[in-house]
Chain A
């Protein structure tokens, strides 16, 4: 059964893209969660609706249209926070609402909801193409290089941003690059889990990992493993039972979180 499942080209591409996106989101998510910026994933994913609708309206690849829209929105959030001193969650809420509203209007102009749009809203991992897999490889490579080079800066800034700044760590620049990577990751994750669930892929594996890990490096590794397990098992179960893959992946992540919490409780009880 599994070998038959894996023999399909669309399954291979879906799993490859899903795995790469899962690792990208899991790594970024650790820093976003610790810096209390994880909701930026939620906000920017909603903004993607504008990009997707623009793509459908102009008959261009919705992912190509989403990239500039999400990048502009991420800088919009940063500007609201830094220049107008709007609180982070409020800034994300404003941009997210604007993105959704414009997206809905554009969708109506594009002829309303159709199968393509549903694919982006709820994910359709098995329709991923070679270009998207290639883009995921490039993004993961760039992200790993960034993390390897700036690991200690990121660790210091995530732990204590003010102190890191007094030590000459370029915290603002790091945050900007982190949000830039997040924007691109969200666009690539659209087909894997869909607009409505993409932020869960950023938040859930890191949060579960933080319950289990004893060192910071373990957090990163466990977060990636959990994300991969959820994508692989989610895609397989969705194929087996003919259910939506995006929702299955997220529900497996929720299950893993509950299991980790339970394990943590038992471990704490034994330690006493």
Chain B
């Protein structure tokens, strides 16, 4: 089975400065990858390169196809960090916004009964069905973000690419958000690539970590991440802080099986 995402020697520069270099990895079907790293480390740029929103160097393949010829965008759901119209008056209904998620290869879908059923199913998944007829820009930022997740889900994607989607959510919505993503991954086999600083809450669902800081510092299983000397050496205090946070005095919020060892080490 081909990789869902394959990146080989990917690099990108803004004017004269390299923002990302030497990015090589494979995301396999069913992976739930948490993309972490310091601000300005190139995480969002990497997602944009994968989505073709930025042009870099190197090879990126989606579902085994080269990015330049890739047409099956309906297989991918994308959710950005911020709502596109967070503080703008844009009179378009929630239903219309989610319907946009059914468009692919530049072909838009009409609001037929079948398509609207799909829209309402996606809204129900994100608990926003009651908002269907409302004006999108009148909703709270958190509600907007849940509607945009519905837009990402409506085409029943095989790959979800999410850029810090939980930033604007309250605690309840965040839990619902991550539980839903977890279910999509475990029950429906949806592959997920998620930029997050929220390693604690989402950690129990993630299967792999990607640590990006202008280069690919680490990519592998979360258990390996917890023990990675390379991560600790490369990132110094930040890594120490992250690892300390992850293990949280012996209880690893990532759900890795090594937490007893760490607890014992700490007690010793």
Bound form: Cα–Cα A66–B39 in Å: 46
Contacts of A210 in B (CB 8 A): 89-91
Q: CB-nearest residue of chain A relative to B78? A: A166
Cβ-based interface call for B246 (8 A): no
Cβ-based interface call for A89 (8 A): no
Cβ-based interface call for B76 (8 A): yes
Cβ-based interface call for A34 (8 A): yes
Cβ-based interface call for B104 (8 A): yes
Bound form: Cα–Cα A168–B48 in Å: 14
Contacts of A156 in B (CB 8 A): 100, 103, 108
Contacts of B84 in A (CB 8 A): 159-163
Q: Determine, out of A50-58, A98-106, A215-223, A251-259, the stretch whose residues face the partner at the interface.
A: A215-223
Residue from A169, A213, A218, A219 within 8 A of B103 (CB atoms): A169
Are A34 and B88 touching (Cβ within 8 A)? yes
- Which B residues between 47 and 68 are near A, CB-CB below 8 angstroms? 48, 51-53
Are A159 and B97 touching (Cβ within 8 A)? yes
Contacts of B76 in A (CB 8 A): 166
Secondary structure of the B contact surface, majority rule: loop
Residue from B14, B106, B107 within 8 A of A85 (CB atoms): B14
Bound form: Cα–Cα A167–B76 in Å: 9
Contacts of A168 in B (CB 8 A): 71, 73, 103-107
**Known contacts A34-B90, A214-B135: does B78 contact A163 (CB below 8 Å)?**
yes
Contacts of B103 in A (CB 8 A): 152, 156, 164, 167-169
Q: CB-nearest residue of chain B relative to A85? A: B15
In the assembled complex, the CB of B107 is this many whole angstroms from the nearest CB of chain A, namely: 8
Annotate B68-95 by CB proximity to A: 1 below 8 A, 0 otherwise. 0001010010101000110011111100
| Tally of chain A residues near chain B (CB < 8 A) | 27
Bound form: Cα–Cα A182–B104 in Å: 28
Cβ-based interface call for A132 (8 A): no
Cβ-based interface call for A165 (8 A): yes
Are A215 and B106 touching (Cβ within 8 A)? no
Contacts of A155 in B (CB 8 A): 92
Contacts of B14 in A (CB 8 A): 85
Chain B interface extent, by class: 20 to 34
In the assembled complex, the CB of B266 is this many whole angstroms from the nearest CB of chain A, namely: 44
Residue from B53, B96, B108, B135 within 8 A of A162 (CB atoms): B53
Are A165 and B52 touching (Cβ within 8 A)? yes
- Which B residues between 1 and 24 are near A, CB-CB below 8 angstroms? 14-15
Bound form: Cα–Cα A167–B85 in Å: 18
Annotate B214-227 by CB proximity to A: 1 below 8 A, 0 otherwise. 00000000000000
**Known contacts A163-B100, A165-B52, A166-B53: does B89 contact A211 (CB below 8 Å)?**
yes
Annotate A143-172 by CB proximity to B: 1 below 8 A, 0 otherwise. 000000000110110111111111111100
Bound form: Cα–Cα A152–B92 in Å: 12
Bound form: Cα–Cα A34–B91 in Å: 11
Contacts of A211 in B (CB 8 A): 89
Contacts of B90 in A (CB 8 A): 34, 158-159, 210, 216
Bound form: Cα–Cα A219–B85 in Å: 16
In the assembled complex, the CB of B90 is this many whole angstroms from the nearest CB of chain A, namely: 6
Contacts of A163 in B (CB 8 A): 78, 80, 84, 100, 151
**Known contacts A215-B91, A219-B91: does B104 contact A165 (CB below 8 Å)?**
no
In the assembled complex, the CB of B47 is this many whole angstroms from the nearest CB of chain A, namely: 10
Bound form: Cα–Cα A201–B22 in Å: 50
Are B73 and A167 touching (Cβ within 8 A)? yes
- Which A residues between 159 and 199 are near B, CB-CB below 8 angstroms? 159-170
Contacts of B104 in A (CB 8 A): 167-168
In the assembled complex, the CB of A168 is this many whole angstroms from the nearest CB of chain B, namely: 4
In the assembled complex, the CB of A117 is this many whole angstroms from the nearest CB of chain B, namely: 38
Are A216 and B80 touching (Cβ within 8 A)? no
Bound form: Cα–Cα A153–B108 in Å: 8
- Which B residues between 98 and 116 are near A, CB-CB below 8 angstroms? 100-101, 103-108
Contacts of A153 in B (CB 8 A): 106, 108
Bound form: Cα–Cα A140–B236 in Å: 62
**CB-defined A-B contacts under 8 Å, sample of 8:** A34-B88, A159-B85, A160-B100, A162-B53, A167-B73, A168-B73, A168-B105, A215-B91
A-B CB proximity, top 3 nearest: A160-B84, A168-B106, A152-B108
A-B contacts besides A159-B90, A160-B85, 15 pairs, CB < 8 Å: A34-B90, A153-B106, A153-B108, A156-B103, A159-B85, A160-B100, A163-B84, A165-B53, A167-B103, A168-B73, A168-B103, A168-B105, A215-B92, A215-B93, A216-B90
